[in-house]
Structure 1
Amino acid sequence: MFVVIFGRLSCPFCVRAKQLAEQLEQAGNIEGYRYVDMPSEGVSKDDIAKTAGKPIHTVPQVFVDEQHVGGFTEFDQFVRDHQLLSTSSTA
C-alpha cells in the first residue's frame, strides 16, 4: 500500500496527514508515502481534480494505491476502517 498526499506546508491538516502516513510507514503498514508540496511542485487543485474525478476545494488530498480517499478526516477514517494502527491521530 502506497500513500500520496497533496498539500501545503502551511496547512495544519496537511501536516497531520503527513504525520499519520509516517506512523503507518514506521509501523510497517504501508510500503511508503510521498508528500507533494503543491506550491513548490506546481500542482493545482484542478490537476488533482482530474485524477480524483471530482472537484477539489481543500487540502490535503490523499490517495492510497492511486485511489482517491479524500482529505485528512477521510484518510484518518480509512486507517481506522482498515485497522492499520491501534489508534489513529484524530484529536
Structure 2
Amino acid sequence: MSVEAAIKEKISSKKVVIYSKSSCPFCKKAKQVFQKYIKKGTLKREDYEVIEIENDPNCVAIQTYMMKKTGARTVPRVFVKGKFIGGGDQVVGKDSSGELKKLLEDQ
C-alpha cells in the first residue's frame, strides 16, 4: 500500500488521528488537549490514534504527502473526522474557543 493510501485509510478509520514526533513540543500540546477529552469521555480511546513518525522508514514520504495534503510538512498534523484541523497551536486555539469540543461531539 502506498504512503498516500495508508494515510487516507487511517484518517478515515478514526475520529482523531495525529501524525506526530514524540520529541516535538507542539505535538505534546496537541496530544494533551485530546487526552483531556478522553478523560472526560467526549472521545473514546478506540476513536483516537497517534502515529509517531520519527522512526518510520517512510517518515520523509509521510511528511512530503502532508505538504501536499495540508500545506505544511511540520508535525503535528491533526485530523478530526477525516479533515485536517491544524497543528499544535491550532488545536489549542480550537479547544479554547469551544470549536474542538463541538467538532468532536457533532455526528
Quick one: distance in 2 between partners of 1:34 and 1:82? 20
Structure possessing the higher radius of gyration over alpha carbons: 2
The aligned counterpart of 1:33 is: 48
Taking structure 1 as the reference length, the TM-score comes to 0.73
Greater helix share, structure number: 2
Q: What percent identity do the matched residue pairs reach?
A: 27
Quick one: distance in 1 between partners of 2:25 and 2:95? 19
Q: Does structure 1 residue 67 correspond to structure 2 residue 83?
A: yes
Between Structure 1 and Structure 2, how many residues are aligned?
82
2:26 to 2, 5, 13: 13
For the 8 Å contact 2:30–2:91, the answer to whether it is kept is yes
Quick one: distance in 1 between partners of 2:70 and 2:90? 15
What is the CA-CA distance between 1:37 and the residue it aligns to?
Answer: 0.5
- Give unpaired runs (5+ residues) of structure 2: 1-13, 102-107
For the 8 Å contact 1:46–1:55, the answer to whether it is kept is no
Greater strand share, structure number: 1
Quick one: distance in 2 between partners of 1:18 and 1:83? 13
2:50 is paired with a residue whose SS is strand
RMSD between superposed Cα atoms in Å: 2.0
